[in-house]
């Protein structure tokens, strides 16, 4: 009798676990043991304070393409993240109004300090975004990844002084250690007192500050060459900026090698690294910050 009673209790316990346990995990959330803490809903960008969005947990087998179709580009830019860095278990910001998000940029349409310049590059570290201006008017803009804590990107006024389409880092290697880290479409804007050069160039964009001080832009062609992903490169921002700022229309034939330049565009860098909150910021549900 005692054995039967024990069996009934065990069965009841098992049923309770099966029935009630899913309620515990049904609300998706970022894995607290994830060492990368990739919950992009916690990164605060001032320009999104008045833009409605909600946290979107990425489930197994989901990708930006499967979730958003052709608007995956919109969501990638909205989150300052590339496809290679979107994976199951992380959380991104999902715009409430996709049509409005297609035109999203945190950069001002008119920037007065750039009025007297044919070409002027403004980088807002707080927004992780870059704007290209012609006589003060925004020509185009794009997400950027600036220096992480401890290796922040320098702020101030600089000027482009060199280009190198096929540049590679002299200090850092790829994750595999097989080669120096690629810095395609590199535009040098500063050399510090320790002779360390700072460039705007192609790199991975994980949705937050991540570099050693340089400014990285989308370049899926570089990622395809180095990592074999994505199969069909779409985001080519570093190439777009390179051609506009230091391309052959402005300077002589580009051999792909290092070229010193004179009177390059002004580069202004403002702001400080965005705040990474210990909790999600959900504007759609009105929780604010």
Taking the C-alpha atoms of residue 77 and residue 128, their distance in angstroms, rounded to an integer, is 11
Inter-residue contact 148 to 127 (CB < 8 Å):
no
Taking the C-alpha atoms of residue 112 and residue 220, their distance in angstroms, rounded to an integer, is 33
Closest CA to 78 of 104, 59, 45, 47: 104
pTM recorded for the entire structure: 0.83
Taking the C-alpha atoms of residue 40 and residue 147, their distance in angstroms, rounded to an integer, is 17
Closest CA to 101 of 54, 37, 133: 54
Taking the C-alpha atoms of residue 123 and residue 269, their distance in angstroms, rounded to an integer, is 5
Which two structure tokens, joined as six digits, stand for 181? Answer: 């880290």
For every one of its 289 residues, what pLDDT tens digit does the chain have, with 9 covering 90 and above?
545 444 444 444 433 333 332 222 223 334 445 555 689 999 999 999 989 999 999 999 999 999 999 999 999 999 999 999 999 999 999 999 999 999 999 999 999 999 999 999 999 999 999 999 999 999 999 999 999 999 999 999 999 999 998 867 555 445 555 656 678 999 999 999 999 999 999 999 999 999 999 999 999 988 888 888 899 999 999 999 999 999 998 888 888 899 999 999 999 999 999 999 988 787 654 444 4
Q: Can you state the percent helix, strand and coil of the chain, rounding each to 5?
A: 25, 30, 45
Inter-residue contact 185 to 219 (CB < 8 Å):
yes
């Amino acid at each position: 009798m005692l054995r039967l009673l024990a069996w009934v209790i065990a069965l009841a316990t098992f049923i309770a676990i099966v029935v009630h346990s899913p309620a515990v995990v049904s609300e998706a959330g970022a894995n607290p043991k994830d060492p990368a803490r990739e919950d992009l809903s916690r990164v605060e960008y001032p320009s999104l304070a008045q833009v409605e969005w909600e946290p979107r947990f990425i489930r197994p087998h989901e990708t930006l393409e499967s979730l958003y179709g052709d608007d995956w580009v919109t969501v990638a830019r909205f989150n300052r993240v590339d496809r290679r860095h979107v994976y199951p278990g992380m959380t991104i910001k999902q715009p409430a109004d996709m049509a409005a998000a297609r035109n999203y940029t945190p950069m001002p349409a008119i920037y007065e300090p750039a009025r007297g310049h044919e070409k002027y590059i403004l980088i807002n570290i707080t927004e992780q975004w870059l704007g290209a201006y012609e006589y003060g008017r925004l020509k185009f803009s794009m997400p950027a990844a600036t220096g992480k804590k401890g290796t922040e990107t320098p702020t101030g006024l600089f000027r482009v002084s060199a280009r190198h389409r096929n540049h590679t880092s002299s200090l850092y290697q790829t994750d595999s250690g097989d080669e120096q880290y690629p810095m395609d479409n590199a535009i040098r804007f500063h050399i510090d007192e320790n002779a360390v050069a700072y460039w705007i160039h192609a790199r991975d964009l994980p949705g937050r500050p991540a570099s050693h001080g340089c400014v990285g832009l989308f370049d899926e062609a570089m990622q395809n060459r180095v990592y074999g992903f994505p199969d069909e490169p779409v985001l080519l921002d570093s190439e777009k900026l390179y051609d506009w700022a230091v391309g052959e229309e402005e300077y002589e034939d580009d051999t792909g090698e290092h070229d010193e330049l004179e009177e390059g565009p002004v580069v202004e860098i403002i702001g400080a690294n965005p705040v990474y909150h210990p909790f999600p910021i959900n504007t759609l549900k009105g929780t604010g910050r």
